[in-house]
Amino acid sequence: MDISLFMNQGILSIARTAAKFYFTDKKNRRFIMDFTPQLTRNAKIRAEQEQRGIHIPPFLIASIASRCNLHCTGCYARADGACSDHQQKTEMDVSHWKSIFEQANALGISFILLAGGEPLLRKDILSLAGNYPDIIFPVFTNGTLIDGAYIDLFHNCRNLIPVLSMEGTAADTDLRRGPGIADQLSEVMSELKQRQILYGTSVTVTHHNLEYVTGRKFVDELQSQGCSIIFYVEYVPVEKGTESLVLTDDDLNLLQANVQELKADCEKMIILSFPGDEAAMGGCLAAGRGFFHINPAGGAEPCPFSPYSKLNLTQASLLEVLQSDFFEKVRAIEEKADIHQGGCTLFAYRQEVENI
C-alpha cells in the first residue's frame, strides 16, 4: 500500500468537507481558498522527499502544555506523568516551538494537532501557531478556558481549530471531567456557532458509551450545535483499574461499522476514528509513518500512548528524528504486528518499545 498516496487522498477529502463549512462567510472563504493550494504544495514537497528515500508524515501531534486544570478519570497524560497540576521546568519555550513549526512548514507537514495537558494554558504558543496559516492546528482542549479573548483568536486565525473533549451525554461528560463541565461546553459551542468558527469534538469511546456516541441522534445534536468534526478516540487503559472501559472485539466491529455508516450519511461532517482508521491504511501510523508525538519537554515519541523517546527536539531536528534508528525499530514492530483490527498497536507492544 502507498501510504503517502492514501493519506493525501484522505487529506483532500477532509479539505473538501471542510470547504462546505468554510464557504459560509467571506472570512472563511478567503482562508480556504488560500489554504487549499497549500495542501497541494505540501504533498509535492513530501513526494520529493519520498523520492530521496525520506518519508515525511503529513501530521504531527504536539503536547504543548504539561499542566491541566482538570482531573479527568483515565487521563493517559496524567497516568504517564506527562501532565500534572504544575508546569514542568523542562517545558519548551516559544523559541523551540517556533523552530519546530518552521521545520514542519518547510518539510510539507500540513497538520499539527496541539494537545497537553491543557493547551489553552499556553496562549503564547497558540498565538505563535496562528502565524503559520499554511498549517492547520486542531487544538484538543477541555474547553473550560475558552473566553472572549480565545474566541477572538480562533475567529482571527482560522488555521486554529478548537476540538472540544466530551464523553457523550452531559452526565457522562461531568462524571469523567467534573460537575458542570458539560454546561460550560454547551455555552462555548453556542458562541463558536454564533461566530461561524469551525470547531470539532473529541469523544473518548468506551465499552459503556459506544452505542450512544456513535448513534445518529448524538451526531445530529452535535451538528445542530455547529460542530463540523468528530474525532472518535478508542479508550486505552493507561490508568490501571479502568480495564472495564476498554472496547471488546465485538465493540470494535460495531465502532467500525457505525463510523463507516456515519461517514457515508453525514456528508457535511468530518468524522475520524483513532486508531480505528489506521486499519484502512495497513496498520499503526506512529513513529513517523503517519505522525509522531512531541511531548512538552521536546521528547520525540512514537505516539502519545507510547511515551518513550531517545531524541529531543531541543537538540535534534524533525528530519533527524524521522530518520532515527529508534523510530526505524519501532516501525519494524508495527510491521510485524498482527493485522490491525482496532485498538492501539504500540500499547499492546509497549514492553518491546520500552526495551529499545
Alpha helices in 269-340 (DSSP H): 318-322, 325-336
The sign of the CA dihedral 108, 93, 295, 299 is positive
- Please give the backbone phi and psi of residue 355, each rounded to the nearest 5 degrees, phi first: -65, -30
Residue by residue, pLDDT tens for the chain (356 residues) are 456 666 677 777 777 777 777 777 777 788 888 888 888 899 999 999 999 999 999 999 999 999 999 988 878 777 777 778 888 878 999 999 999 999 999 999 999 999 999 999 999 999 999 999 999 999 999 999 999 999 999 999 999 999 999 999 999 999 999 999 999 999 999 999 999 999 999 999 999 999 999 999 999 999 999 999 999 999 887 777 778 888 998 998 999 999 999 999 998 899 988 876 766 666 788 889 889 999 999 999 999 888 899 999 999 999 999 999 999 999 888 877 665 455 677 777 778 888 88
Measured CA to CA, the distance from residue 70 to residue 121 in angstroms comes to: 12
DSSP string, 159-204: TEEEEEEE-SSHHHHHHHH-TTHHHHHHHHHHHHHHTT---EEEEE
Measured CA to CA, the distance from residue 195 to residue 65 in angstroms comes to: 27
Measured CA to CA, the distance from residue 345 to residue 315 in angstroms comes to: 29
Measured CA to CA, the distance from residue 280 to residue 219 in angstroms comes to: 23
The one-letter amino acid code at 180 reads: G
The one-letter amino acid code at 201 reads: T
Q: What is the pLDDT of residue 2?
A: 59
The sign of the CA dihedral 213, 218, 219, 225 is negative
State the residue for C-alpha cell 529508534. 326
Contacts of 27 (CB under 8 A, 6+ apart): 155, 158
Measured CA to CA, the distance from residue 208 to residue 199 in angstroms comes to: 26
Give the pairing of strands 200-205 and 300-301. unpaired
Contacts of 102 (CB under 8 A, 6+ apart): none
Q: What is the pLDDT of residue 199?
A: 94
Measured CA to CA, the distance from residue 250 to residue 253 in angstroms comes to: 5
Supply 47's cell numbers: 513526494
Measured CA to CA, the distance from residue 324 to residue 8 in angstroms comes to: 24
Residue environment code for 230-263, b if the CB has 16+ CB neighbours within 10 A, otherwise e: bbbbbbbbbbeeeeebebeeebbeebbebbeebb
CB-CB neighbours of 343 under 10 Å:
18
Domains present along the chain, CATH in parentheses: 3-355 (3.20.20.70)
The sign of the CA dihedral 134, 305, 314, 335 is negative
Q: What is the pLDDT of residue 318?
A: 98
Measured CA to CA, the distance from residue 44 to residue 38 in angstroms comes to: 10
Supply 221's cell numbers: 445534536
Start-to-end CA span in the chain (Å):
27
Supply 102's cell numbers: 518552521
Kindly state the DSSP code that residue 235 receives in the 8-state scheme: -
Rg (CA), the chain: 19
Alpha helices in the chain (DSSP H): 3-22, 26-51, 76-79, 94-107, 123-129, 148-156, 170-177, 181-194, 210-213, 216-224, 249-265, 318-322, 325-336, 345-348, 350-355
Q: What is the pLDDT of residue 1?
A: 47
